[in-house]
Structure 1
Amino acid sequence: MESSPPPPAKKPKMSSASGSDEDPESAAAAAPRRRPKRRKVAIFIAYCGAGYQGMQKNPGAKTIEGDLEEALFLAGAVPEPDRGNPRRYDWARAARTDKGVSAAGQVVSGRFYIDPPGLIDRLNAHLAAPIRAFGFARVTSSFNAKKFCDRRRYIYLLPVFALDRTAHPDREAVLASLGSDNELAKCSECSLRGRKLPGLPLQDPPSDPRSDKAFQFGDEERSRFNRILGGYVGTHNFHNFTTRTKAEDPAARRFIVSFAAGPVVRIKDTEFIRCEVVGQSFMLHQIRKMIGLAVAVMRNLAAESVMQTALRKFSFLWVSKREFFWGRDVNINVPTAPEVGLYLDECFFTSYNQKWKDSHEAVAMEGYVEQAEAFKEQFIFPHIADMEEKEGAVALWLHSLNLRNYPDLG
């Protein structure tokens, strides 16, 4: 009986280590590339608020956040499935700036692809010039730029003439003064913007018509202004310094660390007072309203007691010398200073940095001070000066600062 032929021998498999005629470069190209891991980082940015509807993204509006999100995608930091969906990469901002408000030390955080190196250069390549990224810091997985920010420092550049109560008087005051010994004249700049009054010559009145001495922000004025600003320091109920917030809302209670008027700085042809405020957090329009009421007090439109009243939660109704009960909410219409002079100067993460100092780099602006100052000089300061010189942002606002528009100040 014939035996069946043996089965054909199997071809030995080629070992990857053995020699082969296959092109190693082709094999490497065919191998799947490993996607780098996402890393939680805090990114330091600056921007000029001109032409933007604020920091926070808003459908149909041009915002800083909207431009940033798109630039992060184009820079390769965000994958296609997460494009336009910041929640998927833990997006957070340290502060929410209003329309037209700038920032020199804003911080945002999220989980991004930071490899290969060069994320900041790629990001800036896809951002408009008024928005710049300075750098980033690796942070803990639980880091959140909003929740971990201890304090925020804002600067308001207020034109010196805003504190001169004889400059830029309102229309009614000018008309009422005609023919009197204290006749007030309006400025020619505001006249050219539709505020020309019949029978009044075009002239600029930077000085008190009852004195030959021009207004100056000297030691006496500085001392008074700082006393007024100091009234905001501490924990108060700021429901009158924002919108749509009730007196009983816990969110109305805010802590102000410091508020003071610094040196006078000249930008182009205008002198500004550098007003610096530091607080844990701020509500919508809060800083602009604090500045607005302080200017009203300095111009003698309102007594300093009005500011104390505006910071109360309720009014007191006295029954006897020893008894009182809560009355109605204190509601005062507080003037809002223009947004153009305000910018976010720096965000502080003191508690976080102290806790993680041994394992993570600090989230701080120390390494980007020169870049931030250069950005202010190039974008923020010229914008503030131009808005005053060409548009008269504060000058025109002063015309509306009267008891007819704000009867609660009287």
Structure 2
Amino acid sequence: MKDSGSGLGTVEQQPTPNGKGKGKDIDRGGNKKGKGGKGGGRNAVERKRVRNRMDDSTEQGRPDRAEEEGKEKEGGEGSNKRLAKRKVAMLVSFCGTGCSGMQFQHTGERTIEGLLFEAFVKAGAISKDNSDHPAKVDLQRAARTDAGVHAAGNVVSFKMIMEPPIPNPDLAPSDGNTTGSNELPPTPMDESPTDIQPAQPELQPPPTAPEQVVAYINSFLPPQIRVWSFLRTRNTFNCRKECDSRRYEYLFPSWMLLPPKPGSSLAKQLEEARKEAGLPSNPVHPIWEGSVGEPAPASDEERQRIAAADLQRKRLWRIDEATLNRFRSVLKEFEGTHCFHNYTVGREFSDRAAQRFMMEVSVRSVNVLEDGVQWVSVLFHGQSFMLHQRKMISMALMVCRTETPVSLIPETYGPRRITVPMAPALGLLLEQPLFGSYNDRVRSENAALEKQKVSDEEKANRRRDEIDFSKHQKDIGEFKLKLIYERMREEEAKSNVFNRWIQLIDYYQGEDLAYLNAKGTIVQAAIIKKGERRQNALSQRKLKEDATGSSFNEGDVDEIIEDEDETNGMKGKDLEEMEG
């Protein structure tokens, strides 16, 4: 009697020596089944170990059962032809505007991974059987990005059908067009053959070139997302775990380093702190000299007129060497291994996962672009980043523009909890994930393979690719210029995202920013105590309420103030999946 279980094979009963009784259940792998008809625990564990050894055998050149089993049916029902799945690393770029981040979401939100997964299915790189969930093909990303954040380079890994059945690559729709047809034109009636022709031998279609597969996948993607190539990896490859480090870039207008406008809430707080410390008042910055003693605006219209005039002056300002050097010294304090629990959500000081290693945090360039605005580019190169860790650039900006001593930064790594607002997502760009250790291992294995006495075909089948973006440098540069940098400047010119963020910070009324002071220490008033209800607490929601009560409307504020409530309460694996 056979059992239709899926396991390692069907199960049949072995008769007893005298031909009577049911005997013992034995599966095709020769493993006895325990009571209840289920495989014994030891046998199940052993079978898993065998499968794992066979999965790893590809890297050693032995027959790979995982590859033999990892195939997908091609064609309609009843087709016996199968297409092999292989683990690949896919190099991508995207503009994150209009998407709710990189990671696939079960709620149906528009995400980069969701759009990629849909395109993979449509292009046949993922079978219909696996089209209902990315986990079925082990889809992973090397670095996660928040809503609205861009990536000049990122990597996704998954089990891919490397030669999907493209009916005719020459007729595949061009990039950005999803309506193209792959059908051959019909034969006109007057050209129909009248005689039956002898059967011709069936010609095997040539292998689909990787470039054709990439173009076909891109045809199902919007122009803001591009696939550059896919690279064959080791079977155990997981791009998130194999990634050594990530490089991010943050771009902002240099005028964000100007001191708060006299008369603003933050300017008054700083002045009071200097008096308490027995220090003289700071001289008024030249850009604000005409604003001293300016009467409060009588209406929203007057407030908006003054804000527009202020912004026009700020856009013409150019950073001086002293301010730039002070900003560099602030950034330097983030380098090294520290507890960044104040720069993320869901992590306590005692949580070892809050320890992160920042390899380099520095000013990369200062340039005046076509819009006449001077922009500053900051490099963040770290081993890994936690959720909302762009709070680091917020702290750096606030410390520099308020002339708070840099000694504040090391204090933020201590046990005291403070509130640090998030900087706008508009300026953040994932430059590239790096895979140095993995590439070294691949080079070593490929070099050893060349010395083995096997056929060229066998070598080609066992050779693995290094993960390298350099071959696409020109295309990525053009993509970054047109679809990231230019859109970033256009969005800032249209909606003044950075200016509105600065105003929300400068006009916040409360004590949560009291750590910005002349002493460079976290004062008691700024410390957040667990379970304590604070008056005028600085939260994303509070900033929204303050802004809505002024000259902003709630829809505008939603673009620059993100609610952290959705991530509160996340723990363990769920929180880890939101990091990268």
Q: Same fold (TM over 0.5)?
A: yes
Contact 1:353–1:363, Cα closer than 8 Å, also in 2: yes
Contact 1:159–1:271, Cα closer than 8 Å, also in 2: yes
TM alignment of 1:2-401, pairs within 5 A: 34-58=81-105, 59-115=107-163, 116-117=208-209, 118-165=212-259, 170=264, 182=289, 184=291, 196-197=302-303, 203-204=309-310, 215-269=317-371, 270-286=373-389, 288-300=390-402, 302-312=404-414, 314=415, 330-357=416-443, 358=446, 359-401=463-505
Contact 1:168–1:398, Cα closer than 8 Å, also in 2: no
The residue type equivalent to 2:156 in the other structure is: V
The residue type equivalent to 1:68 in the other structure is: L
* Partners of 1:96 and 1:81 in 2: CA distance: 27
* Partners of 1:309 and 1:196 in 2: CA distance: 41
Greater relative contact order structure (CA < 8 Å, 6+ sep): 1
| Counterpart residue number, 2:192 | none
Which is worse superposed, 100-109 or 256-265?
256-265
Change (3 A) 1:380 1:205: closer
* Partners of 2:304 and 2:237 in 1: CA distance: 62
| Counterpart residue number, 1:327 | none
The residue type equivalent to 1:107 in the other structure is: V
Change (3 A) 1:240 1:127: same
Shift of 1:408: 3.7
Q: Tell me, what secondary structure is at the counterpart of 1:283?
A: coil
Change (3 A) 1:240 1:262: same
Which is worse superposed, 298-307 or 57-66?
298-307
Q: Tell me, what secondary structure is at the counterpart of 1:297?
A: helix
Q: Structure 2, unaligned stretches of length 5 or more?
A: 1-77, 164-207, 272-283, 447-462, 518-580
* Partners of 2:336 and 2:99 in 1: CA distance: 32
Shift of 1:167: 6.2
Deviations 1:291-335 (A, max 9, x none): 1011001111643222221122x2xxxxxxxxxxxxxxx101112
Deviations 1:229-249 (A, max 9, x none): 010000000000011211111
The residue type equivalent to 1:49 in the other structure is: G
Deviations 1:76-117 (A, max 9, x none): 000111103111111110011001000011100011011133
The residue type equivalent to 2:356 in the other structure is: R
2:509 to 399, 404, 408: 404
Contact 2:333–2:406, Cα closer than 8 Å, also in 1: no
* Partners of 1:64 and 1:222 in 2: CA distance: 35
* Partners of 2:266 and 2:157 in 1: CA distance: 50
* Partners of 2:498 and 2:305 in 1: CA distance: 25
- CA RMSD across the alignment: 3.1
* Partners of 2:438 and 2:245 in 1: CA distance: 12
Shift of 1:142: 0.6
Shift of 1:348: 0.4
Change (3 A) 1:393 1:84: same
Structure 2-normalised TM-score?
A: 0.56
* Partners of 1:85 and 1:149 in 2: CA distance: 24
Contact 1:167–1:205, Cα closer than 8 Å, also in 2: no
Q: Tell me, what secondary structure is at the counterpart of 1:340?
A: helix
The residue type equivalent to 1:238 in the other structure is: F
Contact 2:260–2:266, Cα closer than 8 Å, also in 1: no
Q: Structure 1, unaligned stretches of length 5 or more?
A: 1-30, 209-213, 315-329
Contact 1:170–1:398, Cα closer than 8 Å, also in 2: no
The residue type equivalent to 2:402 in the other structure is: N
The residue type equivalent to 1:366 in the other structure is: S
Deviations 1:117-169 (A, max 9, x none): 32211110000110000111110001111000001000000111101215698
Change (3 A) 1:169 1:250: farther
Change (3 A) 1:95 1:49: same
* Partners of 2:393 and 2:385 in 1: CA distance: 13
> Which protein has the bigger helix share?
2
Provide the aligned length of Structure 1 versus Structure 2.
Answer: 352
Contact 1:43–1:136, Cα closer than 8 Å, also in 2: yes
Q: Tell me, what secondary structure is at the counterpart of 1:333?
A: coil
Change (3 A) 1:149 1:42: same
Change (3 A) 1:344 1:185: farther
Q: Tell me, what secondary structure is at the counterpart of 1:388?
A: helix
Deviations 1:15-42 (A, max 9, x none): xxxxxxxxxxxxxxxx956322111110
> Which protein has the bigger strand share?
1
Change (3 A) 1:56 1:134: same
Q: Tell me, what secondary structure is at the counterpart of 2:466?
A: coil
Contact 2:100–2:110, Cα closer than 8 Å, also in 1: yes
**Sequence identity, in percent?**
31
* Partners of 1:173 and 1:165 in 2: CA distance: 8
